[in-house]
């Protein structure tokens, strides 16, 4: 479990050049965070679309985070070995094995993120397990802390009850306001929304099974 893991004491203790060697010396830090990234489908889809934006996946399962790390390494090598396509589009994406529910602020500094993704999170159906959900009043304070004003929280699930749970808690939190899909598309975030719906392994599974997908997005607002 967690005690076996090494965590950075604070975001400025993280050496991002290990994760993003081609960005070393630029002072860049991750701006997109995919929480519970699973097999990495969202990150791999978004990386080439926003080549100057650093993205980090957080995944608690060892084998799964290792898989994502290997996947990114392979993509970097393949792309680099192709002189025609120019610089590899996957230099801006990386993953850490981490329990995001405990250690998110160890990785991301205040107001550093412009997007936070919760795609098909584990539902934890039983009510006594609700505090195990990735969206909870306590954790929302942390999400608001790491997001900059104007930053977006993207949530999607095929579990209606979980959708209502996430939506209700985010709506009730004073530092978030709901923002609908149309508005985000009009702001140029259509490719992100499309990736949220279709790029992840879990999203594809829901599609194969003919399940419904419930999207809810929120904007980080300033304190009144
Ligand atoms: N987002 C991915 C997708 O859409 O395909 C994965 C969805 S999967 C149902 C949920 C993922 O969250 C699992 O890979 C699980 O290991 C991970 N996870 C659960 N709790 C976590 C935590 N506290 N910190 C980091 N990852 C976590």
CA separation for the pair 143, 163 (Å, rounded): 17
Which pLDDT tens digit goes with each residue over 133-169? 778 878 999 999 999 999 999 999 999 999 999 999 9
Annotated binding site for S-adenosyl-L-methionine: 36, 59-60, 99-100, 119, 200-202
- The finding on whether 184 has its CB within 6 A of some atom of ligand 1 is no
Q: What is the ipTM of this complex?
A: 0.99
Ligand 1 centroid distance, CA of 189 (Å):
23
pTM higher than 0.80? yes
Judge whether 122 counts as a catalytic residue: yes
Torsion of CA 79, 65, 195, 156, to 10 degrees: 180
Calculate the alpha carbon distances from 9 to 19, 42, 60, 167 in Å: 17, 27, 18, 32
Which pLDDT tens digit goes with each residue over 37-70? 999 999 999 999 999 999 999 999 999 999 999 9
CA separation for the pair 30, 41 (Å, rounded): 17
Q: Reduced to 3 states, what is the DSSP secondary structure of residue 183?
A: helix
- The finding on whether 121 has its CB within 6 A of some atom of ligand 1 is yes
The best mutation among 41, 66, 99, 121 to test binding of ligand 1, ranked by most ligand atoms within 8 Å of the C-beta, falls on 121
């Amino acid at each position: 479990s967690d005690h076996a893991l090494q965590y950075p004491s604070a975001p400025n203790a993280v050496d991002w050049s290990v994760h993003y060697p081609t960005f070393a010396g630029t002072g860049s830090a991750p701006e997109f965070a995919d929480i519970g990234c699973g097999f990495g489908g969202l990150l791999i889809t978004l990386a080439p679309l926003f080549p100057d934006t650093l993205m980090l996946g957080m995944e608690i399962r060892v084998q799964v985070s290792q898989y994502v790390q290997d996947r990114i390494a392979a993509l970097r090598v393949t792309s680099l070995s192709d002189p025609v396509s120019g610089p590899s589009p996957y230099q801006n994406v990386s993953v850490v094995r981490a329990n995001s529910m405990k250690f998110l602020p160890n990785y991301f500094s205040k107001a550093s993120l412009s997007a936070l993704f919760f795609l098909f999170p584990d539902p934890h159906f039983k009510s006594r397990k609700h505090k195990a959900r990735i969206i909870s009043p306590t954790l929302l304070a942390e999400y608001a802390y790491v997001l900059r004003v104007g930053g977006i929280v993207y949530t999607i699930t095929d579990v209606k009850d979980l959708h209502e749970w996430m939506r209700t808690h985010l709506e009730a939190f004073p530092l978030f306001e709901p923002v609908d899909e149309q508005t985000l598309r009009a702001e140029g975030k259509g490719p992100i929304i499309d990736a949220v719906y279709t790029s992840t392994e879990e999203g594809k599974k829901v599609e194969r099974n003919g399940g419904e997908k419930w999207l809810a997005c929120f904007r980080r607002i300033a304190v009144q």
